[in-house]
Amino acid sequence: MLGVAAAFLLALSAIGWLQLTDARSKLAELEEEYRRLEEECEKLRSTAAQRVTLKWASGTWPAREVDATGDGVPDFVIDICPWNLKSGKGKYEMTYDPVTRTVATVVDFQDLEPHDWNTWVIGYPEVYIGRKPWGSRYVNGFGVNFPMRVGELEPFLVSFYFSFEELDLAGYNFAADAWLLKERDSVRGPGAGELELMVWLVGVNAPGETVGAERVPIVINGSFAKALFEVKLVPQEDRADILIFLLREPEYRRGYVAYDPTMFVRLAVKYARFDVNGHYLIGWELGTEWVAHRRASASGPAWGKAAWVLKDFQIIPRATLVENPRSP
């Protein structure tokens, strides 16, 4: 009887052993599968939209092309653009997070020194499509028809969410910037007879003489408006003129915005001191010109702090906004 019981127990433990071995090999298989999926995921992450982090250090100009759609074609550039920042103690960073589709910018200086104390603006952290006047490569994954002759504009829509999270500066804006150049392919800094066009949604101390007012269709937080823009001109003899459209009504602080940039370019023809119909629009930029606080002496230490987010940045080529769409 004892022998039967012992044999039975032995058989049971053998079954247990077999089951354990089976479970172990299953676990090994799962671990292998998990490793494979992780590798695949990593590969997808590196070919698809990437997280980008730019950090400024003295003497550097961090900028990066971003492929937001993951098709291998860059869609826009994020650029810290520290053009008047020589040195400083602090932080100047931009990041792009493809999961939340958010560009976040942080400016935080306790003590900085500009290249030129007579120039108020320190930098213009920005997102742009197309190219800069001094750059030859168009970054244009959204497919806008750059370079675009001003006399033959093709509409496009720009749409995004914007919000300042922190703001402690002597001057600032959140504004679009664009260049109308005389020659289609010139790769140099813009000069006399060319135009810098700006569209300020928020900001203080816009320079220039008021030369007019215009109503332009815009969607702000889901509401269509024929928004009122003050028009200001900064004529310059040896440099490009600056034409600024300054949003006055409705007031905008944060949220979703959509507009057709070519509407402002069309209006620029009316206000420019020279004929720009034959000029070329080469891109569209969005960012913040920032001015640091200064001590009373003209060249004492300067400081300032700001943080903003730009989300869901989207461009729709060949689309525009109309007030009263005709039914199809």
Q: What are phi and psi of 129, to 5 degrees?
A: -115, 160
- Give the Å distances, CA to CA, from 305 to 98, 166, 236, 296: 25, 7, 30, 19
How many residues does this entry show for the chain?
328
Quick one: tokens of 29? 């298989």
Q: How far apart are CA 40 and CA 316, in angstroms?
A: 32
Q: Which residues pair with residue 175 across a beta bridge?
A: 200, 287
Phi and psi torsions of 288, nearest 5°: -125, 115
CA max distance for the chain: 114
- Which residues are near Ca ion by CB under 5 A? 67, 69, 71, 73, 75, 141
Q: How far is the CB of 65 from Ca ion (least distance, A)?
A: 10
The smaller minimum CB distance to Ca ion, of residues 19 and 47, is found at 47
User: Minimum distance between the CB of residue 158 and Ca ion, rounded to whole angstroms?
Assistant: 16
Residue 92 tokens read as 């100047």
Yes or no: say if 246 and 206 are a contact pair by the CB < 8 Å rule.
yes
